[in-house]
């Protein structure tokens, strides 16, 4: 589609370079040389660093006393990462994360509990603000603390899926399977180092190991469901519910049948396992009316706020609980 657009715009000679997480070459360009191992290493480090920044950003900005203070700290590290001031090496990432923890801890905040909403769904729609009507910002404007799942989880889930296919005799053991086993061990080691630093953040919350998420997902569906986001949506929703985040917004592209099946298809079982879930499925599409989109969100937010008030009242009269 990109090539077709370039041809239509009069740029037929401009090549299109395609990168993919699979080993298949989608659009080979003889003049382009790419170091796959270096890319995977730097991409993984970048995701781990950005996941930590995202956690600190969302839990600080809702509590900041001086508007803009959290964004200023966040932009400082984002810009340094983007312009290369922070080298993409493990040592540099960890060193700057330590500084970022200190800077976020120094932002002046209020001491208050807010209703929490976890956002799950199709990988592009749940993270890209343009495609989801800036839903995270809208929620924060309503006094909601947004909790985002780790971006790295999506790719780590692929490692678990490959191993599960071998264990259930869907695929045979091969070199790729062995690489995923080694890759998962290395990723867990790196994540442990990042986590040891982020624990110094005052509003720290632990991300579950991908195996823990997979285990929770297995109570809902088979891990051999690997279309769309696969079992990850069910695992993330169950993880949120068990972590005290009962309000979950699930976003799907309007035309992505796979994600509609894997998301809405697990709703009944999830509600049986976690009856207090406040779960809302929303379709993100350019043709969807913003009024309809946010009307449903208002009901969702009202429910989240009311549930928090009930829990706070119960805690007042039943402090032992």
Is 133 domain-assigned?
A: yes
Is 138 domain-assigned?
A: yes
Whether 249 and 118 have beta carbons less than 8 Å apart is answered as yes
The full length of the chain comes to 321
CA distance 28 to 24: 10
- At residue 63, the 3 state secondary structure works out as coil
Is 292 domain-assigned?
A: yes
Is 303 domain-assigned?
A: yes
- Specify the pLDDT at position 25: 59
pLDDT per position as a tens digit, 265-288: 999 999 999 999 999 999 887 777
- Is the model's pLDDT at 185 over the cut of 90? yes
- Is the model's pLDDT at 314 over the cut of 80? no
- Specify the pLDDT at position 301: 95
- Specify the pLDDT at position 21: 61
Whether 113 and 69 have beta carbons less than 8 Å apart is answered as no
Please report how many Cα atoms fall inside a 13 Å half-sphere around the Cα of residue 228, on the Cβ side: 25
Structural domain range at position 228: 113-149+207-317
To the nearest whole number, what is the mean pLDDT of the chain?
Answer: 91
Spatial CB neighbours of 315, under 8 Å, sequence gap ≥ 6: 321
Question: Residues 183-190: what's their mean pLDDT?
Answer: 94
Burial (0-12, 13-18, 19+ Cβ within 10 Å), 95: middle
* Domain of residue 138, CATH code: 3.40.50.11900
Question: Residues 146-165: what's their mean pLDDT?
Answer: 94
pLDDT per position as a tens digit, 207-264: 999 999 999 999 999 999 988 889 999 999 999 999 999 999 999 988 788 888 888 8
- Specify the pLDDT at position 223: 94
Is 245 domain-assigned?
A: yes
pTM over 0.85? The answer is yes
- Specify the pLDDT at position 103: 98
Is 1 domain-assigned?
A: no
CA distance 131 to 10: 28
Confidence of residue 24 (pLDDT cuts 50, 70, 90): low
CA distance 97 to 50: 9
CA distance 294 to 134: 11
- Is the model's pLDDT at 5 over the cut of 60? yes
Please report how many Cα atoms fall inside a 13 Å half-sphere around the Cα of residue 166, on the Cβ side: 15
- Is the model's pLDDT at 321 over the cut of 60? no
Is 52 domain-assigned?
A: no
> Closest Cα to residue 115, out of 318, 300, 251?
300
- Specify the pLDDT at position 34: 76
What total number of domains does the chain contain?
1
Is 284 domain-assigned?
A: yes
């Amino acid at each position: 589609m990109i090539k077709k657009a370039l041809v239509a715009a009069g740029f037929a000679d401009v090549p299109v370079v395609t990168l993919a997480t699979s080993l298949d070459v989608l659009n080979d360009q003889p003049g382009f040389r790419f170091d796959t191992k270096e890319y995977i290493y730097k991409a993984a480090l970048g995701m781990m660093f950005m996941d930590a920044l995202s956690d600190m950003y969302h839990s600080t900005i809702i509590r900041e006393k001086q508007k803009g203070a959290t964004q200023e700290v966040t932009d400082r590290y984002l810009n340094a990462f983007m312009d290369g001031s922070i080298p993409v090496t493990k040592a540099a990432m960890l060193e700057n994360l330590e500084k970022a923890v200190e800077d976020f801890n120094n932002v002046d905040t209020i001491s208050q509990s807010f209703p929490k909403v976890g956002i799950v769904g199709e990988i592009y729609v749940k993270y890209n603000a343009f495609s989801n009507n800036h839903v995270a910002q809208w929620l924060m404007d309503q006094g909601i603390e947004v909790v985002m799942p780790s971006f790295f989880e999506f790719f780590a889930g692929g490692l678990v899926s490959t191993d599960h296919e071998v264990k259930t005799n869907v695929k045979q053991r091969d070199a790729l399977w062995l690489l995923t086993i080694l890759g998962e061990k290395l990723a867990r080691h790196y994540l442990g180092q990042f986590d040891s630093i982020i624990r110094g953040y005052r509003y720290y919350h632990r991300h579950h190991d991908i195996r823990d998420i997979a285990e929770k997902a297995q109570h809902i569906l088979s891990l051999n469901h690997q279309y769309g986001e696969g079992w990850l949506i069910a695992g993330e929703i169950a993880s949120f519910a068990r972590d005290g985040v009962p309000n979950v917004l699930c976003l799907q592209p309007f035309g992505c049948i796979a994600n509609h099946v894997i998301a809405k298809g697990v709703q009944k079982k999830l509600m049986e396992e976690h009856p207090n879930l406040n779960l809302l499925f929303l379709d993100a599409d350019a043709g969807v009316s913003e009024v309809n989109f946010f009307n449903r969100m208002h009901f969702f937010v009202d429910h989240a706020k009311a549930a928090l008030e009930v829990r706070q009242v119960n805690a007042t009269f039943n402090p032992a609980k």
